[in-house]
A and B are shown apart, each in its own frame.
Chain A
């Protein structure tokens, strides 16, 4: 998994503390990947046991004092990973899928109401991502292109979710066929 490989990639530029790794990892993922510094330390420890990274001599003691460097085995692992397209890019695992599955035959109005609620959440998420995009467009930040592309990825996924919600609603039979036709006034 790519926390490990992200760390290797950052260490390939030179030795780092755990906290520096966390900051740079956030930069790589545009802050869209929720990772705490504890996960960095535990991953580093596992990687050290596997011989992918090693501790620098100077930095022994508490976690935050430790400095890590990449080993030759680590570089080899990184080079292999950078050339391999991920086979399972994104698990389709969403709380709402379970809710929908439970409601769909038991309580259809509740399922439809929930679809509306989820749609609202997605619109708010789109708006929040768009705000980040507007701020980014107005800044001259370094690494802007990568961050912009990450925001686009997030935006397009939410858009796909919204399209799918429309599909759910249609299939649940709630969608009327355009404006309602009425009898002409006598």
Chain B
């Protein structure tokens, strides 16, 4: 692989369900190259969320290896993994995960505030970030005063505040209407093609996956199909 930002080598993750053991991710090997947009598809229960968590260091493998940004994720302490995620990885979720009592700017600034950066500096950086998302007039609004598409753009601004090279999106359009969903997908595409970030997105929507330049379909914890769409150069 030319320049892999994530490498899985026989990565396996099991869960107990009652007395049974479920192999959610079953010896998957794959590499994600820097600057690419990978979509992971599959029905619920296919293992796609577990795979995303393994790829992003939220879970470590029971067997096999996950190399994340040059680190063997299985060998890192919980604290080191947390720092790795904080400094190099952005997360975007289906339900936005914004704090309802904070304004848009405060939500976006939160990762900086948690890292004990000066409040004024953090907030002005957050406002700038929101302006680039077309939300300059929404910085002092609380989440419940925003539309779904606006909330997701706030969440993306928050994911970008530390300027991470790697972004994970878990069903980012799952809670949006089709117009707002497309705006979010276009934004993610821009983050890849214009800013060179690496994007890994889980989705069950084939139309959303079509924004990726690679589509991996999972079934029963294994890769069923791995399609290069040849779509990097947009």
Contacts and interface: CB of A to CB of B under 8 A. Distances in A.
Contacts of B46: 178-179
Interface stretch (A9-17, A81-89, A122-130): A122-130
Interface in B196-234: 206-207, 209-213, 215, 219-221, 224-225, 227, 229-231, 234
A120 B220 contact: no
B207 A155 contact: yes
A116 interface: yes
Contacts, number: 86
A135 B233 CA distance: 11
Nearest to A124: B229
B206 A123 contact: yes
Contacts of A158: 206
A134 B189 contact: yes
Question: What size tier do the contact residues of chain B reach?
Answer: 35 or more
B227 A124 contact: yes
Interface residues of A, number: 30
B20 interface: yes
Secondary structure of the B contact surface, majority rule: mixed
A185 B21 contact: yes
B47 interface: yes
B61 to A, nearest CB: 16
B2 interface: no
Contact of B209 (A123, A179, A183): A123
A161 to B, nearest CB: 10
A127 B45 contact: no
B16 A184 contact: yes
A94 interface: no
Interface of A: 116, 119-120, 122-124, 126-131, 133-135, 137, 155-156, 158-159, 162, 176, 178-185
Given A122-B206, A134-B186, A182-B22, 7 more contacts: A116-B225, A134-B234, A156-B207, A180-B26, A181-B17, A181-B21, A183-B20
21 contacts: A116-B225, A123-B229, A126-B206, A127-B210, A127-B215, A130-B210, A133-B182, A155-B210, A159-B207, A176-B219, A176-B220, A178-B220, A179-B22, A179-B24, A179-B45, A179-B46, A179-B47, A179-B220, A179-B221, A180-B26, A182-B22
